């Protein structure tokens, strides 16, 4: 997970993923295009999947362009994807089928989206666990490197990252409760009782962590060692709870969505409604959500957005890019 983070010569603990993908090709590819375009971001993740050295140059030209050495190719997303696949055959993009384990073309889009959201949230929780443990080990006395700034600045950055994660988690839970669970309850009353109870336990825990981070932020950086260890412990508890919760949903609930007798029209309606309920996520922190996915998974998620989301709904979407000045 987490292969979508931009490259950097220096990285803080917060920016180090559990399994960050490294470029394996000596070729440098320059991608130019509008930075707020889903098509541009889709192409970026395709190139990251190929593990090339990637540089992105913002452009007002609405057609993305790829530069490889003396070659310059522009055109539609489909044309550029085929160029990428022909130019860099391995690893394959597998563009023409949904290649996540256990899913196929018939899998409802809402099931795919929920599974991918689970993957991203778990990766980000793991990241916060690692970061909080590192903060505790350092006792809040120093930052990882000078680019972070002072210890208090690092705590503010930590708080911002957690706020983004919490926004996704809260909207995800609301989407399930208002869109997914009623459909399942209409088939088998009481089926979602356990999942609803899990949501009820997780929200107070998440709010408690938020307030605890605030209290650490106003303390003297050299006197909060014990509080940082407590914070790390709280994140570990949240991680264990969410992991078990997501596994239960994926085992017991998501297969029932596939088994329910829903036509394509109703499946599409559920997906559209779920995106509408997660408007904040896809308008404000979509880049953060995608960071928690591998490039191939991010492409799958962007594909869902391009197929179902209202263009105005995600007009403010900007994915973090490797920008050349």
Which tokens is 67 given? 């530069």
Name the region of 3 (left: φ>0; alpha: ψ -120 to 50; beta: rest): alpha
Q: Hey, which residues does 74 pair with through a beta bridge?
A: 65
Domain ranges of the chain: 28-87, 109-293
Domain 28-87: give its CATH code. 3.40.30.10
CA distance 43 to 91: 15
Q: What value does the mean pLDDT take over residues 46-63?
A: 89
CA distance 2 to 119: 10
Q: Considering all CA atoms of the chain, what is the largest pairwise distance in Å, rounded to the nearest integer?
A: 63
Its pTM stands at: 0.81
Tell which wins on pLDDT, 13 or 89: 89
CA distance 301 to 288: 13
Question: Which residue is it, tokens 């490797």?
Answer: 322
Most confident stretch, 36-40, 76-80, 137-141, 258-262:
76-80
| pLDDT computed for residue 83 by the predictor | 95
Tell which wins on pLDDT, 212 or 259: 212
Per-residue exposure over 209-239, b if at least 16 CB sit within 10 Å of its own CB, e if not: beeebeebeeeebeebbebbbebbebbeebe
pLDDT, one tens digit per residue, over 268-313 is: 899 999 998 998 888 888 889 999 999 988 988 988 888 887 655 5
| pLDDT computed for residue 324 by the predictor | 44
| pLDDT computed for residue 218 by the predictor | 84
Q: What kind of architecture, by CATH, is found in domain 109-293? A: Up-down Bundle (1.20)
For the beta carbon of residue 185, count every other beta carbon within 10 angstroms: 14
pLDDT, one tens digit per residue, over 162-189 is: 999 999 999 999 999 999 999 999 888 8
| pLDDT computed for residue 2 by the predictor | 44
CA-nearest of 312, 234, 275 to 38 is 312
pLDDT, one tens digit per residue, over 67-91 is: 999 999 999 988 999 999 999 998 8
| pLDDT computed for residue 322 by the predictor | 45
| pLDDT computed for residue 144 by the predictor | 58
Tell which wins on pLDDT, 32 or 8: 32
Long-range contacts at 208-211 (CB < 8 A, ≥ 24 apart): 208/234, 209/162, 209/234, 209/235, 209/238, 210/159, 210/162, 210/163, 210/166
| pLDDT computed for residue 233 by the predictor | 96
Tell which wins on pLDDT, 323 or 188: 188
């Amino acid at each position: 997970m987490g292969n979508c983070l931009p490259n950097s010569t220096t990285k803080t603990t917060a920016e180090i993923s559990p399994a960050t993908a490294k470029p394996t090709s000596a070729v440098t590819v320059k991608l130019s295009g509008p930075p707020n375009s889903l098509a541009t971001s889709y192409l970026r993740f395709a190139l990251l999947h190929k593990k090339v050295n990637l540089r992105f140059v913002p452009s007002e030209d609405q057609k993305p362009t790829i530069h490889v050495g003396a070659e310059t190719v522009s055109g539609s997303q489909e044309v550029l994807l085929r160029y990428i696949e022909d130019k860099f055959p391995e690893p394959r993009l597998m563009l023409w089928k949904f290649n996540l384990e256990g899913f196929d073309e018939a899998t409802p889009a809402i099931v795919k989206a929920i599974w991918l959201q689970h993957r991203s949230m778990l990766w980000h929780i793991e990241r916060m666990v690692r970061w909080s443990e590192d903060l505790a080990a350092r006792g809040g006395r120093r930052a990882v490197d000078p680019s972070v700034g002072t210890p208090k600045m690092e705590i503010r950055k930590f708080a911002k990252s957690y706020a983004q994660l919490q926004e996704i988690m809260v909207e995800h839970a609301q989407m399930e409760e208002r869109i997914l669970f009623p459909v399942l309850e209409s088939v088998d009353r009481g089926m979602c009782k356990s999942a609803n109870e899990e949501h009820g336990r997780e929200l107070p825990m998440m709010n408690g962590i938020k307030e605890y981070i605030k209290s650490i932020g106003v303390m003297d950086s050299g006197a909060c060692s014990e509080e940082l260890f407590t914070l790390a412990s709280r994140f570990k508890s949240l991680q264990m709870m969410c992991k078990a919760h997501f596994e239960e949903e994926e085992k017991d609930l998501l297969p029932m969505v596939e088994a329910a007798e829903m036509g394509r029209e109703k499946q599409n309606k559920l997906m559209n409604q779920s995106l509408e309920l997660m408007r904040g996520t896809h308008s404000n922190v979509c880049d953060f959500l995608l960071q928690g996915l591998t490039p191939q998974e991010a492409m799958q998620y962007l594909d869902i957005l391009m197929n179902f989301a209202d263009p105005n709904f995600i007009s403010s979407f900007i994915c973090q890019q490797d920008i050349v000045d």
